Structure 1
Amino acid sequence: MRTEVITIRTGSRPVVRDITAEAARFAESEADGLLHIFVPHATAGLAIIETGAGSDDDLLAAIDELLPAEDRWRHRHGSRGHGRDHVLPAWIPPYATLPVIGGKIALGTWQSICLVDPNGDNPTRQIRLSFING
């Protein structure tokens, strides 16, 4: 298995950040196998979605609707509503495994690999990319 950790800047507000290019660069020297992506943070996840057509903003709006940033959460350190950020990985998991064929990630036409980070308290995130030969 080959593995590498990359750092992604997410800033100080909720964000859906496309990391497809970074993942593709990691996988391009490989043949066939599986790319596993893991976010070792308790308040972020990974989603495979279409970006650039409003879906990224729709996802953030859906998170706010389903998991509002209010003071009702028992987990209360950090900024207001931070407890919801700790619940997020139950809905948007912190990992994804994707097939790689001939060094190319086998995504659909409109699919992108996205880091979903609603937690503005942490402006950078680590992401572990791992490749397992097929």
Structure 2
Amino acid sequence: MPHHTARIIIPTQPRRLTEITGEVAGWLPSTGITTGLVTVFCRHTSASLLITENASPAVWRDVVAWLDRVAPEGPLYEHDDEGADDMPAHLKALLTGASVQVPVVGGRMALGTWQGIYLAEHRAQPHRRQVVLHVAGD
């Protein structure tokens, strides 16, 4: 079974979701894989990946607001090496995950009509995040 990998760099905005569905979908044809599984992996502990609705920006704002309520900034944490947003960012990444997997059918990701892949930036500053793509299949 063939395997293919790539690394992409995604510039992020503070505490925002950045859709990366297009970058992953654009890479898939170069692999020649028509049936398989693609894994998207975030190489950071203060950013994460998720699949959510890609139609309404209100969904993205609500996700970020919910995560801020679940893991608020403040003097709640021992770990604050990189500032007040450091430990909350790690907690948000733990909740949302470092990777997503999507079946590949007919050479395309089998995402639902309203699904998109998002890189979630949990820090208060913009970053350039590394995301690794891996697909295996036929």
Contact 1:71 1:81 in 2 (8 A): no
Runs of 4+ more than 6 Å apart: none
Which one is further off, 79-88 or 103-112?
A: 79-88
User: What RMSD, in angstroms, separates the aligned Cα atoms of the two structures?
Assistant: 1.3
Amino acid corresponding to residue 21 of structure 2 in structure 1: T
The whole-number CA distance in structure 2 between the counterparts of 1:60 and 1:41 is 18
CA distance in 1, matches of 2:126, 2:16: 11
Matches within 5 A, 1:1-134: 1-11=3-13, 13-29=14-30, 30-53=33-56, 54-121=58-125, 123-134=127-138
Task: Give distance in 1, aligned partners of 2:22 and 2:68.
Answer: 27
- In the alignment, is the contact (CA less than 8 A) between 2:16 and 2:121 conserved in 1? yes
The answer to whether the Cα contact below 8 Å between 1:68 and 1:84 also exists between their aligned partners in 2 is yes
Q: TM-score, normalised by structure 2?
A: 0.90
Range with greater deviation from structure 2 (34-43 or 114-123): 114-123
Residues 99 and 106 in structure 1, CA contact (< 8 A), matched pair in contact too: yes
Unaligned runs of 5+ in 2: none
Normalised by the size of structure 1, how large is the TM-score?
0.93
Mean Cα deviation higher: 120-129 or 93-102:
120-129
Identity %: 29
Q: Distance in 1 between matches of 2:124 and 2:4?
A: 31
Post-superposition shift, 1:80? 1.7
The structure with the greater share of residues assigned to helix is 2
* Letter aligned with residue 17 of structure 1: T
